[in-house]
Chain A
Amino acid sequence: QLQLQESGPGLVKPSETLSLTCTVSGDSISSSAYCWGWIRQSPGKGLEWIGNICHGGSTYYNPSLKSRVTISVDTSKNQFSLNLNSVTAADTAVYYCARRGRYPGVPDEFDYWGQGTLVTVSS
């Protein structure tokens, strides 16, 4: 059974960098059939896509966050990570990691999600 688990600080100071890691179990993050993504949800708001990292290390980011976001993968640990710099209170949200089918032969969807982790930006 595939599982994703987010980890990282729950509190980040304004202007600093938010760093989260998603640990994947039950599947290889190197699988060529999938991308791995980050999605966030501000309190009481909707889902906002942050970005994906796909086979071969290709990255795709939300244009509204692109200048501040980096997503990377560590295949040796079966993890992928999110860095969001220069954070403000507007970045306070529940951050989810998810698996994304984007290649022929697999369903085109975010099919597995982590439980989400709340990150609060405050001094």
Chain B
Amino acid sequence: FLLTQPHSVSESPGKTVTISCTRSSGSIASNYVQWYQQRPGSSPTTVIYEGYERPSGVPDRFSGSIDSSSNSASLTISGLKTEDEADYYCQSYDSINQEVFGGGTKLTVL
């Protein structure tokens, strides 16, 4: 299956942005979805795991959700800060342990 993300999104500081991740086949709810943040020159770090859980240290401005009707997951970042500017990747897997990453979304905070 594929995970499709918008190539880029942009928003102003203080605003809220939502990044979608649509699963092409199989139910989005059947396997957990994770979201990773990757800043230039750095390794990815988890901002959301298991759909909506936040690792310790990730601010509650980051939230995740699942919408079965559109077969998609979403990452929402509220109160945008310039430090949130990064690439964001969704990731999930299937019943035979095949991992899939979305193509990534470049978030610009301007």
Contact = CB atoms under 8 A, between A and B. Distances in A.
A46 B55 contact: no
A49 B100 contact: yes
Interface in A25-40: 37, 39
B25 interface: no
25 contacts: A46-B87, A46-B89, A46-B102, A47-B101, A49-B91, A52-B97, A54-B97, A60-B96, A60-B97, A60-B98, A62-B98, A96-B43, A96-B44, A102-B97, A107-B46, A107-B53, A108-B32, A109-B34, A109-B49, A109-B50, A110-B36, A110-B46, A111-B46, A111-B49, A111-B55
Interface size class of A (residues with CB under 8 A): 20 to 34
By secondary structure, the B interface counts as strand
A52 B103 CA distance: 20
Interface of B: 32, 34, 36, 38, 43-46, 49-50, 53, 55, 87, 89, 91, 96-104
A114 interface: yes
A115 interface: yes
Interface of A: 37, 39, 46-49, 52, 54, 60, 62-63, 96, 100, 102, 107-111, 113-116
